[in-house]
Chains A and B, each alone.
Chain A
Amino acid sequence: DVKVTQSSRYLVKRTGEKVFLECVQDMDHENMFWYRQDPGLGLRLIYFSYDVKMKEKGDIPEGYSVSREKKERFSLILESASTNQTSMYLCASRQGGINGYTFGSGTRLTVV
């Protein structure tokens, strides 16, 4: 079964910490995405990548960066975590064409 794996289900970090959220897919997909999900706001795209070392900003990139050194891994980085980044973070991958996304189980991040 194809899989997108997010390394942590729950994280608690302190304000100002550098935070890494890891996502790995085993489907050889070209495209990977990071979303955050907040009540009443739905899913908002932070960054996406359509190839190794390539990245594009989504709708809300401020305060975040990403890294894609290998095709299967797409990391989301919070350079200096703030309380307004407390959220559920969802990673997804997609091959493109007529295919939908495959999502990971999500990481619930709390910044205190």
Chain B
Amino acid sequence: AQSVTQPDIHITVSEGASLELRCNYSYGATPYLFWYVQSPGQGLQLLLKYFSGDTLVQGIKGFEAEFKRSQSSFNLRKPSVHWSDAAEYFCAVGPNNAGNMLTFGGGTRLMVKP
């Protein structure tokens, strides 16, 4: 069965510092991979996705993620964090066939220090 692990439950970074959020997945084939962001009291918004091709994908709000098949990872990065990036981030993996469900990681809560 597919699974997603986000090892860091909480991360605190200073504003302007770089950010990397970790995501590891278990999946039997080439996965579809997603990162979502959830602001307090809101639903989840798609940041970026990977299906094939270039393993470095760009998303909204200055985020990027790199797919590393050998490490079964899809880490999210941002060169310089802004206070408005404080939120919860979810990694998700989906089937690459006709199935429709995504499996989500437990989330990482990002706090940004001024």
Contacts and interface: CB of A to CB of B under 8 A. Distances in A.
Interface in B28-57: 32, 34, 36, 41-46, 49, 51
Among B90, B101, B104, B107, the one with the most A-chain Cβ atoms within 10 Å of its Cβ is B101
B100 A106 contact: no
Given A42-B90, A42-B107, A43-B90, A101 B102 contact: yes
A103 B9 CA distance: 22
A30 to B, nearest CB: 8
B92 interface: yes
Contacts of A81: none
Contact of B41 (A6, A33, A92, A108): A108
A94 to B, nearest CB: 6
A108 to B, nearest CB: 7
Interface of B: 9, 32, 34, 36, 41-46, 49, 51, 90, 92, 94, 98, 100-102, 104-107
